[in-house]
Structures are given as structure tokens and as C-alpha cells.
Structure 1
């Protein structure tokens, strides 16, 4: 079984209400320990210790342990009215986070997701009140069924040897990314939330994909993992399409997302029946797909995670104490930090 986390050093690289509460290393600067530690009368003391940042790179949104932003990246050649979402990097300006980025073949095919990473790091640093820092340690993830194929490419994409300097929302940042650790999405979302469950199925309902992972004795079984193109966006697009002939207008995507998040009061009452019908259809399709791959919804421990967990909590037809929901969309990012600190 391939481990869903791996440690790789620079040297190796050069060589080649059932709500549930509860790596790869890249770019290790050889001089970091010498530059970052000095002697005091009390012994060794860390100076400029790296700030740890965990980001979950989704197709619709970037989530940190404390932040959330959408994935649009729009180059601009003018000075916007405000600094909100304004990223300035290598002499170019971008407005980021104001809408959803269209799906790419991969996240590494252009610089969009690196630019989003810079914005995500800046937002997390702003939250932590640490805008003037020298070193960052970054934790991220890739889809669990593509972990072996994509982990190194995504790690190399995120890590830069040189100092990174940019301005986000009027604040200047300049730091080194000392390490990038890559973990498996889905498993990360439950790694610190399994409680007394030794066996379970984790069902991650993301923007574009449905991922299913078996966990036995708290160990992820990557040979018993599945990915299907049955993400939440398929439901969103179908709702907009099916409602158009009846309503004579397209339901705004923000209204559908509000219903998913339980904010029906923000939505035009005329839209609600179409939205709820479409979300019920999506929940039925998810349960049908799980039965198709022999998931016993009545008896196995099932944990729904991702943006679609809210949909399954409200519209799933199979209920029981064996079914739980992680509705915090930041769960993967929180899990990356947990795995980094507990598994290395």
C-alpha cells in the first residue's frame, strides 16, 4: 500500500446532527538552520522560525485553516477602485477570489493556482497578524486517487527556491518557502476526527469530483479508493439549466450556494423549489453511486466531507448514527496541518 504522505528532502530530489467534531518535503534550504538559529545563554533559540500555512486547493475555492476565497484570477492593466483581491506579482496585477475559476486540465498547467497560493498565504498571515515574516512552511494536498501521480509535480509547482515578493491588498510580503508538504485530500479531512471509529468510508463531495476512501484500523486503504466526476458543480449547473424554461431566468449560482449552506432566507422564494429539487436529485445520485460500489449505507460508518456534506446532511435519504457529516469546508486544510505535526 502506498503511503498517503511522503517525506522527500532536497538531497533526495537532487539524486532523482451527526456533525463530526472531534507529505512531501520540498525545498529545504540548506542554510536555514544556520541562519534561523542562534545561541543564547539559555541555549538554542529559534529566530525567524517558519510560519506554518495549510491550504486546500479546490476547483471552486481555496481554503486555509482560517480563510476561504474563490478561485478566479483576472489579469488587469489598470488600478482598481479598491485593493480588495488585488495581487501584484512580478510587475503584473491580478484580481483574485471574485468568482469561480473555470476547470483546468490540471492545477499546474499555468500560474493561476500559484497566484492563488500567494493570496491564500497572505490571507492566512493577515489572520495570524504575521505579515512581516521571512520563512513559510506550506502544507497542501492532491486528490487521493491521484496522489502517486501528482504529488511531486504539485510540490515542485508550489515550491520556489528564490525569495518570493508580492503585494496583496496593499500589504507587501517577502519570504522564502522553506518546505512544501503534500498530503491526500479526503483522508486529511478525517485524520483528526475519527474518534473511536476504526473502520469507515470517507465520502468527499468536492466541486468537480466525488472521492470515496476506505479506512481500516485508522489506515487509509488507497487500493480501495474511488474518484468519480460527480461533484457539486454538476448539480449546480443542472439546477440552472432545468429551471430556466420554467422561471424564464437563470437562477444565480450564489443563490444555489446559499441554499446549500442553509441560508435560504437570502434566496428568492420563487427559486427555492427548483433548487431543493435539484439538490435532492444530487443526493440520490450520490447514494446510488455508493451502493453501486458496494458501500453499505445502513451499517458501515460513513463520513461525508467537503462542500457536499451539507447537501447530504439535509437531503440524504439514508440516515442513522453510523452516518456523520464534516460540514466545515476547511477540514482538509486543518487536516494537512494535523498530519504535518503528527506524521511529519
Structure 2
């Protein structure tokens, strides 16, 4: 089974599921097993709140644990076997793809095989066969070549949780010298909205309330 995972600062995404990049660990069983990962004798509630931003996603095991939760949710959505072989695919920022590729592949492709864990009280045994990494944003153009066809210059913008990654393509060829990673993503946007609402109204709003408004939904 091939499973693509976007390890975002704001949310973890697979082709069919999406949940916030939050993780809270417990030594004992929490009040509910919903969204709970059990691994190495500990319990982790996945998708709650927002974890502390880290410069390197490989600096702790949080994204590895969230990867297990994402695999479990995607397999459940596809109604697949909970004992299976998996090829993981993931993306890395354009500006740092070459620098981070080796380390992030080793982070996800560990010697511990098969990977055994429980998610929402169901057992999983996953053998990761390979990990393939691709440049974020640019990969999407493989599905939409019409966006760059016959265009002399196109600016690709990948708006993420923490960064906005930019790259220009000239005659459909990526111009590596134009790659930029700006810390102006959705998290910065939400934090600024929270502060402005507090200043103007004296009220505190949650991230979920802000998301609903930005999505044009009632709140």
C-alpha cells in the first residue's frame, strides 16, 4: 500500500484524512481512546491543539508518532488490512529539499521492522518497505502540466502552516535560485487574527473559530 503523508506544522494530511499536528503524551490510559495511539507502553492523544514549533521536524519523535496515526487512519479509510506492507511518500520544502532529504528519510525509515502499535484500541503491524521524498508544491504540477504549458514564467506558491515556499519556473523548468521560504504561513495568520480581535474587542477566540470564519462558515 502506498501512503502519502504531508507532515505539516499545522496539520497532518493523507489523501483521505486530515488532523491537527497536536500530540499529548500520557503514562496512563486517558479518559477516551478516540484518536489515541499506544506505542512503547505510552499513550498519545493525536490531533489535539498545536504542538510547539521546532526548526527541525526530526528533533524529537512527535512526527514519527503522528505518522503512525496517519497510517492507521488512512488504512481504516481504505478498509485495508491492519497487517500490511507500506511505502511511505512525503514532501519537503523546496528551499531545503536537498539538505533535509537524507535525514528525514532516515527519520521515517527506521530499523524497527515491523512497526507495531495500537490506534483507537486496534492493533497494527506495519512493515515499511521504502520511503520516497519529493519537493513540496512542485510535485502538484506533475498533475497539472497545463498550468505551466506555454507560459514563459510561473510563480509556484506553497502556503503551509508555518512557511510560504516560493519557486519560479521559467519555460516549465524550475529555477532553483528563486526558491524562498518565508515564515508567513497560516499559523502566523491565525496568531495575528487572535491578537487583533483581542485588541479590538477584548475577546479571546480559538483557532477553530478562526478557521470556520476563514472557510466562510458560521461561528
Rounded to whole Å, the distance in 2 between the matches of 1:102 and 1:220 is: 33
Q: Distance in 2 between matches of 1:83 and 1:180?
A: 29
Runs of 4+ in 1 over 4 A off after TM superposition: none
CA distance in structure 1 between the aligned counterparts of 2:37 and 2:143, rounded to whole angstroms? 34
Q: Flag the 1:100–1:194 CA change in 2: closer, same or farther, 3 A.
A: farther
Are residue 139 (structure 1) and residue 93 (structure 2) matched? no
Where 1:195 maps in the other structure, the secondary structure is helix
Equivalent in 132, 136, 141 of residue 185 of structure 1: 136
Whose relative contact order is higher, 1 or 2, with alpha carbons under 8 Å and at least 6 apart? 1
SS of the equivalent of 2:146 reads coil
Cα distance, 1:107–1:244 mapped onto 2, change above 3 Å: same
Q: CA deviation at 1:196?
A: 5.4
Contact 2:30 2:43 in 1 (8 A): no
> Residue 166 of structure 1 corresponds to which residue in structure 2?
117
Could you tell me which runs of 5 or more consecutive residues in structure 1 were left unpaired when the two chains were aligned. 1-50, 268-344
How many residue pairs match? The answer is 215
Cα pair distance change 1:78/1:64, threshold 3 Å? same
Unaligned runs of 5+ residues in structure 2 are none
| TM value normalised by structure 2 | 0.93
More strand, by proportion: 2
Deviation at 1:202, TM superposition (A): 1.1
* CA distance in 1 between partners of 2:181 and 2:39 (Å): 35
2: CA distance, partners of 1:229 / 1:82 = 36
Partner of residue 120, structure 1: 70
Structure 1 position 214, deviation (Å): 1.5
State which structure, 1 or 2, has the greater radius of gyration over its C-alpha atoms: 1
Superposition pairs for residues 1-344 of structure 1, below 5 Å? 51-161=1-111, 162-195=113-146, 197-198=148-149, 199=151, 200-263=154-217, 265=218, 267=219
Distance in 2, Cα, partners of 1:89 & 1:133: 16
Offset at residue 232 of structure 1 (A): 1.7
Tell me the SS of whatever aligns to 2:83: coil
